[in-house]
Amino acid sequence: CSIGFVSFVGLIGALRDSIFLLKAFATCVFFCYIVVVIATFALFVLFYSDTTDGFTAHSILVYAVKNYHINRNLAEIVDSLQENLKCCGVSSTAQGYRDWNLSYQFNCSASNPQPEKCSVPFSCCRKSVISEAAGSSDSLLPAMRSLECWQNTLNKRPQDLEHDIYTRGCLQPLRNVFESNATHIAFAVTVIVVPVCISICLTNVLARQINHQRILLEREARRKERQLKREGHRRGRTRTNGRHKDGKPSDYETVEILNSVDGCLNNCDKAK
């Protein structure tokens, strides 16, 4: 909707030769250009920053872990991320799953009354465990294993959980995905930015041409106005100097008198 409105403003400005609308269009497009550049820069800082404070991928993942049970949409994103990247938690080490101790519902503190205490989300379970339970029809052991793979895991060692859950955190896999697609992201940003820059330049050129044309038209109008004034003064001097010394009107004045009814009535003798 916003893109359509801005495009409509630019179209009307070009059709109506409105410098104001053209400048408004160029300003909006330039603002979009700034947003794209800042967003791209922030995206690279987000993934390549080594700090854990501020706006970084690490801080965002920690926020998602802490608010996993508060925001349902955020929980779905985290589950999808852990299932697709085969990871669990935040840290890049093999004990990334322990980051779920930051969640108020999963932490292992003595004051936690939740049944999910010392556990991790079900999305941390390995797909091999889940598929084994789904493909088994003779024994309940695989099914029980798939249901219990995420329970009471925060107190266990990583080597004891290697066959049940993903122990590595999601930070490094997420960075790897970004690095593998960094070229495509840069190309997409270039495809967006180049037409935007061309549009801004052409809009400014058109606005300057319209302004220059208006200046030329105003200058021509003033020149014609001065020319008409000079012709009027010259015609007045011609009328004054056109009378004969004996007081009789000139041929030019005679024609004007004959063309006027009042002049003919008041100066019939002179006209004759």
Confidence of residue 141 (pLDDT cuts 50, 70, 90): very low
Mean pLDDT check: name the lowest of 4-8, 45-49, 118-122, 170-174: 45-49
Burial-class residue 36 by CB neighbours within 10 Å (0-12, 13-18, 19+). Answer: middle
Q: Which domains does the chain have, with CATH numbers?
A: 52-180 (1.10.1450.10)
The DSSP secondary-structure symbol of 133 reads H
CA dist 218 and 224 (Å) reads 10
What backbone torsions phi and psi does residue 63 show, to the nearest 5 degrees?
Answer: -60, -40
Which of 18-22, 49-53, 250-254, 268-272 is predicted most confidently? 18-22
Kindly report, residue by residue over 215-240, the tens digit of the pLDDT.
998 899 888 888 888 887 777 777 66
Give the confidence band of 143 by pLDDT, cuts at 50, 70, 90.
Answer: very low
**271 versus 12: which is more confidently predicted?**
12
pLDDT tens digits for 10-52?
888 888 888 899 999 999 999 988 998 898 888 888 887 766 6
In this predicted model, what pLDDT tens digit does every residue of 172-220 receive, in sequence order? 899 899 888 888 988 998 898 898 899 889 999 999 999 898 899 889 9
User: What is the DSSP secondary-structure string of 172-231?
Assistant: HHHHHHHHHTHHHHHHHHHHHHHHHHHHHHHHHHHHHHHHHHHHHHHHHHHHHHHHHHHH
Give me the half-sphere count of Cα atoms (radius 13 Å) on the Cβ side of residue 100.
34
* Distance in angstroms (rounded) separating the CA atoms of residues 158 and 69: 24
Between CA 159 and CA 65 the distance in angstroms is 23
pTM of the complete model: 0.61
Res 129: pLDDT: 57
